[in-house]
Amino acid sequence: MSGPGNNAVENPHAGKGSSVLLDIGGDIGALVIDMPARLEDEEVELRKAGSSSPSDHHHDHDHDHGHGHGHGVAPHVAVVPRPKPDGTTAHSAVFSEVAQGTYELYLRPHGPVQLTVEIHGGQVTEATWPS
């Protein structure tokens, strides 16, 4: 967005294939989900297992998609392609800070739940999205 005195321009490719900083320790872990390529640019949302309402919102965005959030919005990240050391590409969704517990994941805006994971503090949990 640009305007008088503002030279900022939204970058639609922000986060595409970039590194992700994981801030884990104590009761905070991270989640990396291997995703099918067909879901590129879809958004995956995370909520506490058994909850019918969104969990507390953490700003765990894998890229900036230009919208603000009020309270009550579940954390969500986009599925993005990332280069692998062998030259191929892997698609993933990364939640960089997640309080330990059991979570359900689904495509935005509201499901159905496709995956349930257990997050442990100080660890990176890896999961694969179902085909």
* Residue 10 scores a pLDDT above 60: no
Distance CA 73, CA 54 (A): 6
pLDDT at res. 18:
64
Percent of the residues in the chain that have a pLDDT greater than 90, as a whole number: 58
Work out the angle at residue 59's Cα, subtended by the Cα atoms of residues 55 and 61, and round it to the nearest 5 degrees: 110
3-state secondary structure of 102: strand
Does residue 19 surpass a pLDDT of 80?
no
Q: Please compute, for residue 111, the number of CA atoms within 13 A of its CA located in the half-sphere on the CB side.
A: 10
DSSP strand pairing (113-119 vs 28-35)? unpaired
pLDDT tens digits for 39-88? 999 999 999 998 865 443 343 444 433 333 344 567 899 999 999 899 99
CATH code reported for the domain at 28-128: 2.60.40
pLDDT for the residue 73: 62
State the burial class of residue 95 (Cβ atoms within 10 Å of its Cβ: 0-12, 13-18, 19+). buried
76-94 per-residue burial string, b: 16 or more CB within 10 A, e: under 16? bbbbbebeeeeeeeebbbb
